[in-house]
Every structure is written in structure tokens, then in C-alpha cells.
A and B are shown apart, each in its own frame.
Chain A
């Protein structure tokens, strides 16, 4: 069993308290994702706005019980992600902060880029976006077609293309965009883009769940990218671009897995809270759900530890955790509904929200099939059988 030490237990307890404040706002935020602007002062939202930022770039991290938190550790991340998602994953995804982009900047950025990016985030609550998926290419991201061409000055790049399902893009100031400079796998690079620049536009579209995330269709029409905003300029071509994307996703997946885990736990706890007089059979069913959640929690924590220990099997473990947690979220939320009578989802809007949100965990950072293919690779390379 992977248990939390004192430091992370303190984080978990605080995160639970913060998340508890967010839960009563969940349905309202769903109806109007713009309400997030009213909640920026809440400690939970403010924590998300300032994590993950590497220690070198944040002199004033969140401190709890004498412990400092940058949000960058794997086990640290899955611990607070689970707590927030058990209350309202929508608020977590609506919050300002480095979010997905921060991980890529930390991984691929040079000193100046990191100072610029994280500095901007620490000035005031600032939303970021991360744009990889395109209307015609999702799982097959390597085939993306958004293009970077050289401007007449010979240095500046011009970004053109369309991205889809980009969380928070309509309220973000800046973000990371993957695009290509030439055909072939090594032609893909990541750049930092600012949404105030001419040629950028983002249009939110409605989703069944996870509405706080306000996913958008983003279009870039010859958006100017200064040469110093190309991420990984100091790295070899094989380490930036697509290889960088893979490395970033490996680091992000334990956290996304924890979102699925949290959604499942939220639905399970909803049943425990609202169904007090259980029959024997119901009690058994609920206990079984509880055990499944604990099992997946262990899997998620194992992936998180692989991140903390630079374990080469990180990618495979993180994929296993992500795929399994998304399945857990779907199954648990549907089973939770079965504990109430007819019209349960109409009478229990929060439970209905968990069911809808659970569906969305499937797609974020890659679908189940893509994760499974990744797990198989780990299996065939002998990286998963022991330990």
C-alpha cells in the first residue's frame, strides 16, 4: 500500500477543506462558467492558480503546516487532484494557472521562457491553454497540420491553423501550441502564444459535462510568434516537438487519472451521504465500490511515484492508471445512480453532474485505446511485469 506521509496528509486535509467550499458552487459554475471570476479569492482556486510552478520560479509557494508546496511532485499532484475532483472537477478545470501548459514549459522551456511564463502567472490569476488536438486529428496528433512559416523578417514565425477541444482558451492570456514547421515527425515544435495577438480567436462550444473547462475551437490566422517563443530551442530536435509532447503527457497523466478517481469517489460519497438506510445487499454493493476505488487509488499513486522517482516505466504506468481511472469513473457514477429510485438523476443534479463529468475523463490526454496501446508497449518491453 502506498500511504501519504505527514506532509502530503496535511495537503490532502487542506485540499479536502478547500474543495468542500467549491462543491456548493458546482452547479452554478456549470450553468455559467464565467462565474469562476467571482471565486478567484477562494483558497482552492488560488492554490490551483499558483501550481504547478517549479520551486526556482516561485519564491513564495503555498505553505501548509510548515511544508512548502509547488504542486510539481507526482504524489502531491494526484493527492490534490483527487480531492478537488471528488468535490467538483469542473472548478478544477475552470481555474486559472499553469495547468497543462506549465508542465510543458517546465520541461521544454529555456531559462528566459520559464521566467517569462511563470512570472506572468504569479503577477495575477492568469488562465493558460494547451493546444494540440485539431478538428481532423486527435489521437493521431503526430499528423497535425497547424503550420509555422517564417515571416518576411526571416526570424518571426507565423502560426496558422485550427485547434479543437482547447480548455480555457477563450479566457486565457497565453498558452502552448504544437504546430509544424515542415513535414515529418521532427517538423513538429511547441511555441508559446499570446491570445491578445492579432489573428487569435477562440470560440467555446457546449459539452455534456466538464463545462467549467469551457473547451473551445481555436483559430490562428498568421499569429506572430517571436523567435524566442519557440520552446526547446536549446534542445536537440529529437527532444523537443513530439518527443517533448510524449514526455509531457507522461508527467500529466497521473494527475488526469486522479481526476477520474476523484469523480468516482465523489459519486460514491454522494451515495453514502444520501442513502443512510441501506439494505444488506446495497451495503455489499457499496463496499465493493469502495474497494474498487481504493484499488485504482493505489494504481494512480504508483504512477505518481514513478514520476517522483524518474522511473522509466512512468509512461506505461501512467497510461494504465489513466485508462483504469476513466473506466472506474464511468462505472462508479452509473452504479451510484442505481442506489436511488426512478428519476434519480433529475432529483439529484450533483449526482447527474458526476455521471456527465465522468464521461469526459475518457478523452482528456488520450482515450482508453491509446492508453492501452501504451500499456501494451510497456508489457512487451518487459517494463510492467515485476515490482
Chain B
């Protein structure tokens, strides 16, 4: 039985790679592939197959690769908790950024538009957390992933241009989206 809160906490505090390694470890240690056979994982635990894509994240390297295998239920739920934890970590970054940055003489954090947008994002987090439970149907889980992506997008906008740098939290959110891409959706190749 996986401790999903542990995954979420590690994601929030230590970031994507640490949490992803932990999730792999808790799910048996082998690479896990999504419904259409894609994995996004730290290069350190990937095999030798040539990657579809290589991604840098805070000095770590991640790769996207093809392979085979159906993700377990634990993996799928764990990934949603992981992405929620990352989104919560992103919220923390927004609070620090907006608290330190000013418009005129006051911090951006006190602008009412900004307050409202932060409130909206945290409300999404609360909502997602409230429905993320063991019995969730696969489709509902996919929907939650999209909601996490949308919450991330609200937060990224609040980071201004710094949220678009590939050497900052915007890259983590991008890799988080690619995780959702690899591990949710239908297996069939649509034409």
C-alpha cells in the first residue's frame, strides 16, 4: 500500500524528480509505461532505448521513452498525488515571488486581482484533493489531471515571465504536463 501523502509531500517540498523516483521505488522500481506505451522518467532509471525527448530540470535529466506495460492502479493514483503536490509547491513559489515583487510601493500580493487568482488556484487544489480517492474511475482520474494542469497554468501566469524560463518552476510544470500526457488518455492511436 502506497503512502500517497508521502509522495505528495516529497513532490511539494523536494520537487518532481525526487517524487518520481520515490513513486517508482514504491511501485517496484521498474520503469512504468502509460496506456499507449510512453514513459517520462529520470534518465538514471531509464533503459538504453533512444529517447523520444530529453528534458533538463534543475540540473537533472529526464527522458521520454517508448516501452510496454500497463500502469498499476497505485501508480496512476500516486501520479495524481504527485502532480497535486507539485502544483502546491508551485503555489508556494507564487506566494514568495508575489510577496517580494512590487507594483508601485506595495507587493503584488496585495493586488486584488492577484489575491483572487491565488484564491481560485488554492480552491482548485482543495477540490482536487477532496475527490482524489481510491475508488476513482480511470476517466475521472484523467479529468483530475487536466484540472491540475489548469491550476498550474493559473499559477504560472502569476509568476510572470519567470514562469516561462526553462531553468525554473515553469519547466517543472511543463514536465508535469508531459507526465499527464504519457500516463492518461486512451491507448488507441487515433487517426
A residues adjacent to B (C-beta < 8 A): 133, 136, 138-140, 143, 164-165, 205-210, 274-277, 330, 334, 337-347, 349, 355-356, 359-360, 362-363, 367-369, 372-373
List residues of chain A with CB within 8 A of the CB of B38: 342-343, 346-347
Q: What are 22 A-to-B residue pairs whose CB atoms are below 8 Å?
A: A140-B102, A140-B104, A143-B102, A205-B165, A206-B165, A208-B165, A341-B36, A342-B185, A342-B186, A343-B34, A343-B36, A343-B38, A344-B185, A346-B38, A346-B40, A346-B64, A347-B38, A347-B189, A355-B177, A356-B174, A363-B160, A369-B114
Contact of B161 among A164, A275, A342 (CB under 8 A): A164
Quick check: A360 and B189 within 8 Å, CB to CB?
Answer: no
- Alpha-carbon distance between A196 and B114 when the two chains are bound, in angstroms: 41
- Alpha-carbon distance between A363 and B170 when the two chains are bound, in angstroms: 13
Quick check: B178 and A359 within 8 Å, CB to CB?
Answer: no
Q: Taking A207-B164, A208-B165, A334-B149 as contacts, is the C-beta distance between A342 and B156 under 8 angstroms? A: no
Quick check: A206 and B167 within 8 Å, CB to CB?
Answer: yes
- Alpha-carbon distance between A178 and B157 when the two chains are bound, in angstroms: 25
CB nearest to B156 among chain A residues: A359
List residues of chain B with CB within 8 A of the CB of A207: 164-166
Quick check: B170 and A341 within 8 Å, CB to CB?
Answer: no
- Alpha-carbon distance between A360 and B166 when the two chains are bound, in angstroms: 12
CB nearest to B37 among chain A residues: A343
List residues of chain A with CB within 8 A of the CB of B103: 139-140
Q: Taking A208-B171, A356-B174 as contacts, is the C-beta distance between A341 and B187 under 8 angstroms? A: yes
Contact of B191 among A140, A275, A346 (CB under 8 A): A275
Total residue contacts A-B, CB cutoff 8 A: 111
B residues 32-72 touching A (CB-CB < 8 Å): 34-38, 40, 52-53, 56, 64
Name the distance in Å between B173's Cβ and chain A's nearest Cβ.
8
CB nearest to B71 among chain A residues: A342
B153 proximal to A (CB < 8 A):
yes
- Alpha-carbon distance between A207 and B168 when the two chains are bound, in angstroms: 9
List residues of chain A with CB within 8 A of the CB of B153: 330, 359
B113 proximal to A (CB < 8 A):
yes
Quick check: A341 and B174 within 8 Å, CB to CB?
Answer: no
B75 proximal to A (CB < 8 A):
no
List residues of chain B with CB within 8 A of the CB of A165: 161
Quick check: B183 and A342 within 8 Å, CB to CB?
Answer: yes
B residues adjacent to A (C-beta < 8 A): 34-38, 40, 52-53, 56, 64, 101-104, 111, 113-114, 117, 146, 149-150, 153, 156-157, 160-161, 164-167, 170-171, 174, 177-178, 181-191
CB nearest to B186 among chain A residues: A341
Contact of B184 among A138, A276, A342 (CB under 8 A): A342
9 further A-B contacts with Cβ under 8 Å, apart from A164-B161, A208-B170, A334-B150, are A140-B102, A143-B104, A341-B35, A341-B188, A342-B186, A344-B181, A347-B36, A356-B174, A368-B157
Quick check: A346 and B101 within 8 Å, CB to CB?
Answer: no
Quick check: B181 and A345 within 8 Å, CB to CB?
Answer: yes
List residues of chain A with CB within 8 A of the CB of B171: 208
Q: Which of A208, A275, A362 has the largest count of B CB atoms less than 10 A from its CB?
A: A208
Quick check: A206 and B102 within 8 Å, CB to CB?
Answer: no
Quick check: B104 and A339 within 8 Å, CB to CB?
Answer: no
- Alpha-carbon distance between A368 and B35 when the two chains are bound, in angstroms: 36
List residues of chain B with CB within 8 A of the CB of A347: 36, 38, 52, 189
CB nearest to A330 among chain B residues: B153
Name the distance in Å between A211's Cβ and chain B's nearest Cβ.
8
List residues of chain B with CB within 8 A of the CB of A334: 146, 149-150
List residues of chain A with CB within 8 A of the CB of B181: 337, 342-346
List residues of chain B with CB within 8 A of the CB of A360: 164
- Alpha-carbon distance between A347 and B52 when the two chains are bound, in angstroms: 8
- Alpha-carbon distance between A276 and B183 when the two chains are bound, in angstroms: 24
Name the distance in Å between B78's Cβ and chain A's nearest Cβ.
17
Quick check: A276 and B35 within 8 Å, CB to CB?
Answer: no
Contact of B164 among A139, A208, A274 (CB under 8 A): A208
CB nearest to B157 among chain A residues: A362
Quick check: A276 and B191 within 8 Å, CB to CB?
Answer: yes
List residues of chain B with CB within 8 A of the CB of A368: 157
Contact of A346 among B117, B174, B182, B188 (CB under 8 A): B182
Quick check: B182 and A343 within 8 Å, CB to CB?
Answer: yes
- Alpha-carbon distance between A164 and B187 when the two chains are bound, in angstroms: 43
CB nearest to A278 among chain B residues: B190
- Alpha-carbon distance between A140 and B181 when the two chains are bound, in angstroms: 36
CB nearest to A369 among chain B residues: B113
